Amino acid sequence: MDAGFAAGTSIPSVAFGTWTLGGGAQATDYVEQAISVGFSHIDTAQSYRNEEEAGKAIRESGLAREDLYITTKFSGRDGLDIETSIKNSLKFLRFRANGFCTVLLQLGVDYVDLYLIHHPRLATPDIPTAWAKMEKLKQDGLVKSASPTPFIRFEDSPLTFCSARRRSIGVSNFGVPELQILLASAKVKPAANQILLHPYVHARQSPIIEFGNAHGIVSEAYSVLIPLTHQPGGPVDKPVNDIASRLQVKPEQVLLAWAKSKGVVVVTSSTKEERLKGYLAAGDLALTADDVAAIDAAGAKGARRQKVRAFVSRVAVVALAAAVGFGVCGYLGIDLI
């Protein structure tokens, strides 16, 4: 089986994601800002509906195509298949048979560096068949020359000379069972598996990272900052804030450094320049083994609390439904016993 990443290729260890940026000029500005502070890895997806805006920022950055690492994802948008979807993601301008041209502003690049299946449920009709289609795309240089439709490319762009071997394929949100099914028939291993990872889910997600490590699949972590953004006030806050105070850094930097300690590529985002600089600087933070262990333990504690809370609310719903049922029966004079 071929390795997911061809020899000589590497993936930048932190990516700027476009999921929450929306569309329009603002999204382009945020991607431009990220590139200008030093992000060289842009993570987008067909379902984010801002590939066009990301592409504009990429083209206007003035950087050579090979200096940027671009990931997009097959999201099953508009019911299109894997191959048509990546063609649409790459498109810039298409000529029609009648001589007119249709402007299809998407990423507007000749290739992406990494194309992921966004979620296992999109691997239809089954994982082996969908993966075989991905392998074909990689073989074709991610449809660079597969389309009968002429594309206008950026003239004199060095990307024209890039080798097809440098493009990688991968998956996202795959668990161990799905990876096992994929590997059983794969000719090319997935280069990467992009998964949810933050301290509150670390215990349940770590087997996926371990499986990836054992099979040469890079794990990419998204939503690492959930303890700050969606679940503040939990047990992770204390160790993160203590470490941040000791190191004189921001809590988000501590969480990103924690993710780095797990050996994953981090996919994050921000609309703020200062924060973005902090994210990049977090790569140099050296957490001690005790720091990492304290965050792990707090994350596990929070996960247990969430389980108990979920159980209690399920019991409460059942009890409420039963009480309503008894009440209705009593009202209708139906004897349940």
Query: Catalytic residue numbers?
Result: 48
The CA-based dihedral angle spanning residues 35, 39, 44, 48, taken in that order and rounded to the nearest 10 degrees: -60
Q: Should residue 275 be labelled a site residue for ligand NAP when binding is judged by CB under 6 A?
A: yes
142/223 with CB nearer ligand NAP: 223
Which residues make up each annotated binding site?
Answer: 118
Q: Which amino acid is at 249?
A: V
Which residues make up each annotated binding site for substrate?
Answer: 118
Site string for ligand NAP, 93-132 (x = CB under 6 A): -------------------------x--------------
Candidate ranges 15-23, 62-70, 184-192, 327-335; the one touching ligand NAP (CB under 6 A): 15-23
Candidates 67, 158, 166, 191; CA nearest to 113 is: 166
115/222 with CB nearer ligand NAP: 222
User: Which structure tokens are listed for 134?
Assistant: 């991905």
CB within 8 A of 250, min separation 6: which ones?
244, 275, 278
Instruction: State in angstroms the smallest separation of the CB of 260 from ligand NAP.
Output: 13
Site string for ligand NAP, 48-77 (x = CB under 6 A): ------------------------------
Give the one residue of 271, 280, 300, 301 binding ligand NAP; rule: CB under 6 A: 271
User: What is the rounded CA–CA span in Å between residue 57 and residue 307?
Assistant: 42
Give the one residue of 50, 89, 106, 270 binding ligand NAP; rule: CB under 6 A: 270
Backbone φ and ψ of 113, nearest 5°: -80, -30
User: Which structure tokens are listed for 282?
Assistant: 């977090």
Backbone angle region of 123, left / alpha / beta, with phi > 0 → left and psi within -120 to 50 → alpha: beta
Give the one residue of 1, 2, 20, 95 binding ligand NAP; rule: CB under 6 A: 20
Q: Should residue 296 be labelled a site residue for ligand NAP when binding is judged by CB under 6 A?
A: no
Q: Should residue 172 be labelled a site residue for ligand NAP when binding is judged by CB under 6 A?
A: yes
User: What is the rounded CA–CA span in Å between residue 215 and residue 209?
Assistant: 10
CA torsion through residues 130, 170, 206, 182, sign: positive
User: What is the rounded CA–CA span in Å between residue 291 and residue 244?
Assistant: 10
Instruction: State in angstroms the smallest separation of the CB of 90 from ligand NAP.
Output: 18
Site string for ligand NAP, 33-52 (x = CB under 6 A): ----------x---------
- Identify whether 125 is preceded by a cis peptide bond (ω within 30 of 0): yes
Q: Should residue 193 be labelled a site residue for ligand NAP when binding is judged by CB under 6 A?
A: no
Interface ranges with ligand NAP (CB under 6 A): 17-20, 43, 118, 172-173, 194, 222-226, 228-229, 251-252, 267-272, 275
